[in-house]
A and B are shown apart, each in its own frame.
Chain A
Amino acid sequence: MTITEDRPDTAAPDAEIGKARRRKEDQRLITGRTRWTDNLTVPGMLHLAMVRSPFAHANITSINTDEAKAASGVIDVITGEDIKDVQGVNANAWPITTDQVTPTHLPVAVSRVACAGEIVAVVVARTPAEARDAAELVDVDYEELPAVLDLKEAAADTVIAHPDLGTNKCAFWKLDSAEQGSGGDVEAAIAKARTDGIVIEREYRQQRLIPAFMEPRSVLVDPTGEQMIVWSSTQVPHILRFLIAATMGIPESKIRVIAPDVGGGFGGKLQTTPEEFATIAISRRLGKPCKYTETRSESLLSGHHGRDQWQKLTLSAEKDGTVTGLKVDLLADMGAYVAIVGGGVPVLGAWMFNSIYKFPAYQFNCQTVLTNKTWVDAYRGAGRPEATFAIERIMDELAAELGRDPIEVREQNWITHEEFPFTTVAGMTYDSGNYEAATAKAKELFGYDELRAEQQQRRDSHDPVQLGIGVSTFTEMCGLAPSRILGQLNYGAGGWEHASIRMLATGKVEVLTGSSAHGQGHETAWSQIVADRLGVAFEDVEVLHGDTQIAHRGMDTYGSRSLVVGGEAVVRAADKVIAKAKVFAAHLLEASEDDLEFKAGRFEVKGTDKGLAIGEVALAAFAGHNLPDGAEPSIDADATYDPVNFSFPHGTHLCAMEVDTETGATTMRKYVCVDDIGTIINPLIVEGQIHGGLVQGIAQALWEGAEYDENGTLVTGSFVDYTLPTAADTINYVSDHTVSPSTTNTLGTKGVGEAGTIASTPAVVNAIVDAIRSFGVNDVLMPCTPERVWKAILTGSAKPAEGEREAAPHFDDGAPNQDNPDTSASTQGGAQ
C-alpha cells in the first residue's frame, strides 16, 4: 500500500513553515536519556505505595496500620483521617449547570469509597519495594454497600452511588435551536416527517475506554525549598498549580510545578489526581521529598476513563433525503466523581452532532449520571468523537433507508464551500471548509467505485468474506477556547494561551510557551514558526515549556489547542518583538520607522543597502549604549492570546473492511483520509498525529473497551485484557490533505491532534455494518468483536439465501455437546 507523500506546496522555498523538519525533541528519546518523572531522584527521597479499595462501594469501618508501620523501612502509614484537613480536593472545573450534583472527591477516602481503586491509605517507605510490601500489611475493614454500575440503571435512581446526595442524576443540559433562535422546532420537524417523510431512530453505545498512555503517571514532590516543587507526569502543569493553591491552602507563589518529559496523555493526564494531592499532602506532613509511580494496573483502574454514553438519536428527513431535524438524548456516565472537565465532555458534543449538515432544527439533551465506577473525563477528542460517531452512523442509516449511496446523501445535506462562513443550527460559525474537495480527493485515492464493484461481486457470489465500505465526513471544533464562551458555559477558567520571546544578545532566541507538550513536537513546530516570523535560523530557536517557573502563564495542552491558540500567541509575541526592534533599528540606522522594511530577519531602509539584522538589534538592546531616549533596553515580548472563535478542521475518511462471515473476524483492507486542517506547519508531525489518532479511533471500533463485572471490579485491568492493537494488527494508512486556511488565526491553522480519532471510529463501524447489511444487520456494538459481528449476522433480520451461511451453528440442537468436561475424555464425543 502506498503512503501518500504529496503535500500542498503552500510555503516559499526557504520558509520553515511547511517543511518536514525532523524533531528537535528526538535526540534524548532515541538514546534513552529522557527525564521521565520516575527517572528523577532527589536526595532523601521516600517512596509511596497506595492501598486501594477492592470494593466498588463501601464504608471504611476501620484501618489497622500497626503491622505495616512496624515493617522494615517504613516511615509512616497515612490514612485519609490523618490528612483530611490538608489534602485538598479533586475539583470539577466545569459544573455544567448551577445545580449540578457534585460529590466531594477527597484524594484519600476518609469514611467511604465510591469506586474500586480509591485510595484508603498510603505507605511511606525507604524503597518502592518496602512500600509495596507494607501496603500488603495494611488491614482495612469495609462494610460493603450496594453499588450501581449500569448507566441506565443509575439514571433510574434505584441504587444510589452516593447515598447522601439522594440521586445519581448529576446535571441536565439542553440546547434547543428554536429556544436559542438558531433554528426551528425539532419536535415539529419530526412530527411532520412521521406523516410525510422519513424518521430514523437509533440508539448507539459509546463504550467506556481507557486512555492508556504509555508512561504510567508519576509524581515527585520536594517540599523542602522556599517553593515546593512538584514534578508530575501531567498535561496541565499550570492548571495543577492553580488547583493545588486553590484547594490545599498553599500560596500559589510557593508552588512550582514541572512537567518534565511526559510519555503521552491523550486527555488522560489533564486530570489533577488524587495521587498528586496525596503525595503533596504527605511530603509536606513529613517534610521529605516523596515519589509515587503507579503500576500499569493502577493506571488502568484509577486514571480517568473516557466516553461511556448511551446516545438516542432521532433524525427526520424529507422523502428525497433532505434532513429536516435532529434530536439527541444522551446519557453520560461520570463515574463515581465529577472529574475536572466532567460533564463538560459530553456537552462539547452539543455543537457537533449536527456536524457538517444543514439541519434546520436541532435539539441536544444531555443527562450526566453518577455510578460506582472509575471517573470519566476527556479522552482524545472528548465529546466530539462521540457526537461524530452517532451522526455519521445515522447518516449511513438514512442512506440505507433511501437505498442510496451514503456519500451522495451526505453531499445533498452538507454545507457547500460557497456557503462559508456558515452559522450552524447549534449556533457555531464555521469559518472555512471544503467538504466537496476533501471527499473527491478521498474517493479517488480510495478507488471508491472499484471497491463498490468488488463489494457487489462478493455479495452476488455469496463470498464468505464480505466487503464493506465506511464513510465518515467529519468536522470538529478545535482551539479551545474563547474565554468569553467558556465563561458563558460556566467553565472555571479561560481559554487563552501565553507566549514569551526572549531575544538573547548573541542572536539566539528563547521561546516560552504555556502549552506544555507530551509528544506533539511543540519544540520543533514552534521553532519553525518563530524562525519564519523573526527571520532567524531554525536551530537558533530554543523552545521552553512545562515548568511554571520558566513558562509561568499557560493553559496547557488538550483539545487540539496548542497550535491554534498557543501558536498564535507565539506569532503575536514575535510581532511585538519586531515592533519593539523596529524602533531601535530606526534609531540605529538613523532612519524613519516608516522607511524600514522587515524582511528575512533584517530591517532594511527602503531603497538603500543599509540594514540591521534582528540579532544585531538584540545585541544593541543588550548593550543599551545607543537607544532612543527613555527606551527600555529590551526587545523581549510577551503575548497572551484569547481566541475569538474555534477552528473547524474537517475531512473525509473512507474505510474498507473485510468481514469473515464464518467467524465474524474483521480485517481492514484499506483506509484513506483526506483532512483539511488548514495551514500545515510541519507535514511530518501532522502525519504522525493523523496515524496515531486513526489507530486510537479504530481501536475503539474494533478492540478496546473497559469492562466491569457485576461486583464493580474492572476486568480489563491489565494489558492482557485491555487489548491495545500492535503493529501486527494495524495497516498503513493513506493520508492526504486539502487546505482551506482557518480565517480565525494568523497562520491559518486548525488543529490536528484529535482529527484521526474523531473521524475513524464511525468509518470503521460503518464499513462493518455495510459489509453485513445484506444479512439484515444495522448495528454492531463496539468494540465490534468477532463474536459480536458473527452474532449480528446470525440474528440479522434478513435471512440470506440458501447456501450463503454455511457457518450456521450445529451445536445447539440436541447435539451431545454439553457434557461435563470431567467426563468428556472418555465419551464418544468428537473431542477427547
Chain B
Amino acid sequence: MIPATFDYLAPTSVADAIAALEEHGDEAKVLAGGQSLLPILRMRLNAPGVVIDLGKISELQGVTEDGDDLVIGAMTTYFDVLASDAVSTHAALLNKAIATVADPQIRHRGTIGGALVHADPAGDVGAPALALGASFVIAGPGGATRTVAADDFFEDLFQTAVGEGELLTQIRVPKHTGWGAHYEKFVRVSHQWSIVGIAATVRSEGGAIAEARVGLTNMGSTPLRAKAVEEALVGQPATDEAVRAAVAQVADGTNPPSDLNGDSDYRKHLATVLTRRAVLAAAGA
C-alpha cells in the first residue's frame, strides 16, 4: 500500500529544517530513518501534507566524544551506533540494547534520534538512555538550543519534550566506562517489539555492586527508570539471592499494558525475573 500524497523537503542544515518546520507547522512530519514512520504512512494512519527528511543533514550524524560525554547525532543509524567503539567502550548498555532492535535491515536505516522522538514505549532505546542518564539537545527556532535531562524527556505515549517546531539534534550520554551491561529483551518471536525489556548496567568493585542503573521498556506509557532498585543494589554482592531481594519491588508503581502477549500483571512478574537476570548478567555473574 502506498502513502497518501505529500510534499517532500530535504533540508541540508538544522536551521533549514527548523525553518521548514516553522513554515509548515502541523502539516509537517519529520522523517528520520523512517522505519516506524513509513509503515504508518503506508497504512494511512497518518497523512502529513509535508514530509521533512533529515537524511541530508550531515551535522546530525556520527558519534563523538566530548569530555565525560559521548555525543551521538540524532540521525546516527543504529548500525553506526553499534559499529562505534566509543559506544561499546563507554556506553555498553546502549550497544547491547540497540543490538536487539528489530532486524539488520531496520538497523541499517533506523536512527537513534528517530526512535527516541517516536517514543514507542516498546522501543528498546529509551530505557538504556534513561538508565545512563542521557541528556537531549533540542534545537528550536532562531538557533535556540536547550538540553533536557533524561528524566524529563519522555512525557507520555509517543510524546517527548521535543515540542512543535523543534528537533532533537544530539543525545549526550555520560560515559560509563568499565561498567558491565546487559539488555534483557523478552519477546515471543525475534522480530517483535519488546514485551518487556530490562536495561541494566553495573559498576562492580571488589566483588560487590558499587553502582547500578536500571531502565524498563514497555512497563508503562514511557520508558521507566527503577531508581529504588538501583539504590537497593548498591553494596550488594552479585549473587542470585542478594540481587533477587534488591530487585523484588521493581514493578511496584508501574502500569504496563495488557495485550495479546501478556496482561499487565504478567509483565510485572516478568520485570522482576528479568531485572534479576539483567543485573546479574551486567555484573558478570
Q: Report if A and B touch in the complex (beta carbons < 8 A).
A: yes
Q: Which residues of A contact B (CB under 8 A)?
A: 128-129, 132-133, 136, 295, 297, 662-663, 665, 702-703, 707, 715-716, 718, 720-721, 723-726, 728-729, 785-787, 790-791, 806-807, 809-812, 815-821, 824-825, 827-832
Chain B hits for A831, CB < 8 A: 216, 219-220, 224-229, 250-254
Annotate B85-127 by CB proximity to A: 1 below 8 A, 0 otherwise: 0000000000000000000000000000000000000000000
By the criterion CB–CB under 8 Å, are A807 and B269 in contact? yes
Give Cα A295 to B253, complex, Å: 41
Count residues on chain B whose CB falls below 8 Å from chain A CBs: 45
Give Cα A129 to B4, complex, Å: 8
Give Cα A816 to B249, complex, Å: 9
Return the contact of A723 from the options B188, B224, B227, B244 (Cβ within 8 A): B188
By the criterion CB–CB under 8 Å, are A811 and B189 in contact? no
Chain A hits for B8, CB < 8 A: none
Chain B proximity of A830: nearest CB distance (Å): 4
By the criterion CB–CB under 8 Å, are A790 and B224 in contact? no
Q: Which of B5, B193, B254, B274 has the most CB of A within 10 A?
A: B254
B201-229 contacts to A (CB < 8 Å): 216, 219-221, 224-229
Annotate B58-85 by CB proximity to A: 1 below 8 A, 0 otherwise: 0000000000000000000000000000
Residue of A nearest to B215 (CB): A831
Chain A hits for B4, CB < 8 A: 133, 136
Give Cα A136 to B255, complex, Å: 37
Give Cα A752 to B244, complex, Å: 50
Annotate B247-267 by CB proximity to A: 1 below 8 A, 0 otherwise: 011111111000011110110
B172 CB-CB contact with A under 8 Å: no
B44 CB-CB contact with A under 8 Å: yes
By the criterion CB–CB under 8 Å, are B254 and A817 in contact? yes
Chain B hits for A720, CB < 8 A: 192-193
By the criterion CB–CB under 8 Å, are B273 and A815 in contact? no
Please give 8 more A-B residue pairs, beta carbons under 8 A apart, in addition to A715-B260, A811-B268, A821-B254.
Answer: A707-B260, A723-B189, A787-B266, A790-B269, A807-B273, A809-B269, A817-B252, A830-B252
Can you report 29 residue pairs joining A to B where beta carbons are below 8 Å apart? A136-B4, A663-B186, A663-B270, A702-B188, A716-B260, A718-B43, A723-B188, A723-B192, A725-B189, A728-B191, A785-B188, A787-B262, A810-B248, A811-B269, A812-B265, A815-B249, A815-B252, A821-B220, A821-B254, A824-B253, A827-B253, A829-B228, A829-B254, A830-B229, A830-B250, A831-B219, A832-B227, A832-B228, A832-B253
B135 CB-CB contact with A under 8 Å: no
Give Cα A824 to B251, complex, Å: 11
Give Cα A786 to B190, complex, Å: 14
Residue of A nearest to B221 (CB): A821
Chain B hits for A721, CB < 8 A: 260
By the criterion CB–CB under 8 Å, are B262 and A785 in contact? yes
By the criterion CB–CB under 8 Å, are A811 and B251 in contact? yes
Chain B proximity of A468: nearest CB distance (Å): 18
Give Cα A444 to B181, complex, Å: 42
Give Cα A724 to B192, complex, Å: 10
Give Cα A791 to B262, complex, Å: 10
Chain A hits for B144, CB < 8 A: none
By the criterion CB–CB under 8 Å, are B188 and A830 in contact? no
B contacts with A: majority SS: loop
Chain A hits for B192, CB < 8 A: 720, 723
Chain A proximity of B133: nearest CB distance (Å): 12
By the criterion CB–CB under 8 Å, are A786 and B225 in contact? no
Chain B hits for A790, CB < 8 A: 266, 269
Chain A hits for B189, CB < 8 A: 703, 723-726, 729
Give Cα A14 to B234, complex, Å: 73
By the criterion CB–CB under 8 Å, are A132 and B255 in contact? no
**Given the contacts A785-B262, A811-B251, A728 and B190 also touching, CB distance less than 8 Å:** yes
Give Cα A825 to B228, complex, Å: 12
Chain A hits for B220, CB < 8 A: 821, 824, 831
Chain A proximity of B243: nearest CB distance (Å): 12
Give Cα A20 to B17, complex, Å: 59
Give Cα A289 to B13, complex, Å: 48
Residue of A nearest to B232 (CB): A830
Chain A hits for B193, CB < 8 A: 720
3 residue pairs, one from A and one from B, having the closest CB atoms: A829-B253, A728-B190, A821-B255
Chain B hits for A806, CB < 8 A: 244
**Given the contacts A132-B2, A726-B191, A729-B189, A824 and B260 also touching, CB distance less than 8 Å:** no
Chain B proximity of A138: nearest CB distance (Å): 14
Give Cα A715 to B248, complex, Å: 34
Give Cα A721 to B262, complex, Å: 13
By the criterion CB–CB under 8 Å, are A729 and B226 in contact? no
Chain A proximity of B249: nearest CB distance (Å): 4
Chain A hits for B249, CB < 8 A: 815, 829-830
By the criterion CB–CB under 8 Å, are B1 and A132 in contact? yes
By the criterion CB–CB under 8 Å, are A786 and B265 in contact? no
Return the contact of B265 from the options A662, A811, A821, A832 (Cβ within 8 A): A811
Chain B hits for A132, CB < 8 A: 1-2
Chain A hits for B272, CB < 8 A: 810-811
B22 CB-CB contact with A under 8 Å: no
B53 CB-CB contact with A under 8 Å: no
B172-210 contacts to A (CB < 8 Å): 186, 188-193
Chain A hits for B265, CB < 8 A: 809, 811-812
Chain A proximity of B97: nearest CB distance (Å): 17
Chain B proximity of A616: nearest CB distance (Å): 56
Give Cα A728 to B99, complex, Å: 14
Give Cα A829 to B231, complex, Å: 12
